[in-house]
A and B are shown apart, each in its own frame.
Chain A
């Protein structure tokens, strides 16, 4: 089953991701900030990343840019609670940009869609 790396500085959100995505059958890797996410990215070689934009230190946009320096293929979803980043073209390094919601159904279906797209020729 696919491995998904979640980077989010809020512990409650990380726990929610673990619960929902493990139940959906994915292997879940969690990181609390950008630096930890970079380290776990190289250690676990995930199939997809879900990254919060607003994190202390290295933010999600910088994290995607750093990942893209070595890997342009792995699907990345940027999550934000804020609309202001919609005009930031650096978000284009990601594959999707979604607004956070307590209901993860939309995120779960987006993850499935991107994983399927990535294995299709």
Chain B
């Protein structure tokens, strides 16, 4: 019989299909064929992007000038200029489309992936996220910044060159508010951080654990929405990603490298999204929130039932997915 499982943070239910469970080999994808052609993010084509707002130099012999570049979206949906001008139209709320949309070009190497990049290069990307979050929070019009990566066409990426994005918003998105509200309610009841309790249980149980190191834990959530959905959390309670000490970024890069090596080896370089969930700007959530990274390989499709109900049907129990990833040998 299938199981209904409840997410302990936001109370979302998922259906874990145990009878018709899909094995990882059923989900493995054919690697996408490289499309090639002109790439506006490659070294030498910097004039095809807007002027960079941040960059780090490539510190190695034969380097191509930069290790990471951050550029504003060339054709942005939100403008960094102007005031919010909040107003109403009858019962409806409106404000100007103020915000920021930036593209983080993660490496000069067009062919690289997070499973092939050296850990030091992933650390550089994470330090770039931190630098941009620190800079954007100085703008008091902005309340939340979503850092995310779309990799592969099925995950919404239109360019192969390794890149992630951030969108800074003048409001806290509803999905983030759900997490904040859920974590706050749990804290009010138990005087404990729900994420710290999850980490403790996952470490002692071990069935859903994928990898861990001195500072971070990677596991398949108990109520995973998708096959091989993987979350990475710092062991120490910390609400704000950008307050993570620099030396811990190396440990985060290390566990990300392990997780992506396992996912790519097990599933054949699937398209995926990752989303960094950190605290909003200008709101003290330090008692009850805990930043985390969600990685979602795009192996199944979201359809009418999910859109209509908020339920998800996951055909691979997270315990099986975790076991498979733990058993997957990774190169290097």
Contacts and interface: CB of A to CB of B under 8 A. Distances in A.
Contacts of A64: 38
Interface stretch (A38-46, A84-92, A100-108): A84-92
A89 B158 contact: yes
Contacts of A110: none
A89 B163 contact: yes
Interface stretch (A1-9, A17-25, A27-35, A65-73): A65-73
A92 B48 CA distance: 6
B37 A66 contact: yes
Contacts of A86: 75, 77
Given A72-B45, A72-B48, A87-B158, A92 B74 contact: yes
A47 B48 CA distance: 17
A90 B47 CA distance: 14
A89 B40 contact: yes
Contacts of B41: 89, 92
Contact of A68 (B38, B74, B77, B156): B38
Interface residues of A, number: 16
A55 interface: no
Given A72-B45, A72-B48, A87-B158, A93 B75 contact: no
Contact of A89 (B45, B47, B77, B103): B103
Contacts of B74: 91-92, 97
Interface string A108-121: 00000000000000
Interface string B32-71: 0000011011000101110000000000000000000000
B159 interface: yes
Interface string A55-83: 00000001011101100100000000000
Interface residues of B, number: 16
Nearest to B40: A92
Interface in B185-216: none
A64 B156 CA distance: 20
Nearest to B77: A86
Contacts of A92: 40-41, 48-49, 74-75
B52 to A, nearest CB: 13
Contacts of A97: 74-75
Nearest to A90: B158
A69 B38 CA distance: 5
Nearest to A97: B75
Contacts of A65: 37-38
Contacts of B47: 72
Contacts of A62: 37
A10 B103 CA distance: 34
B158 A69 contact: no
Contacts of A72: 38, 45, 47-48
B77 to A, nearest CB: 6
Given A66-B37, A69-B38, A93 B48 contact: yes
A69 B37 contact: yes
A72 B38 CA distance: 9
Contacts of A91: 74-75
A14 B215 CA distance: 61
A62 B158 CA distance: 11
A46 B47 CA distance: 20
A115 B158 CA distance: 28
Nearest to A66: B37
A93 B163 contact: no
B48 A90 contact: no
Interface in B145-190: 156, 158-159, 163
Nearest to A78: B75
A87 B77 CA distance: 8
B112 to A, nearest CB: 17
In the complex, the 5 A-B pairs of residues with the closest C-beta atoms, listed nearest first: A68-B38, A92-B40, A88-B158, A97-B75, A65-B37
Interface of A: 62, 64-66, 68-69, 72, 86-93, 97
Given A86-B75, A88-B158, A92-B49, 10 more contacts: A64-B38, A65-B38, A68-B48, A72-B45, A87-B77, A89-B40, A89-B103, A89-B159, A92-B75, A97-B75
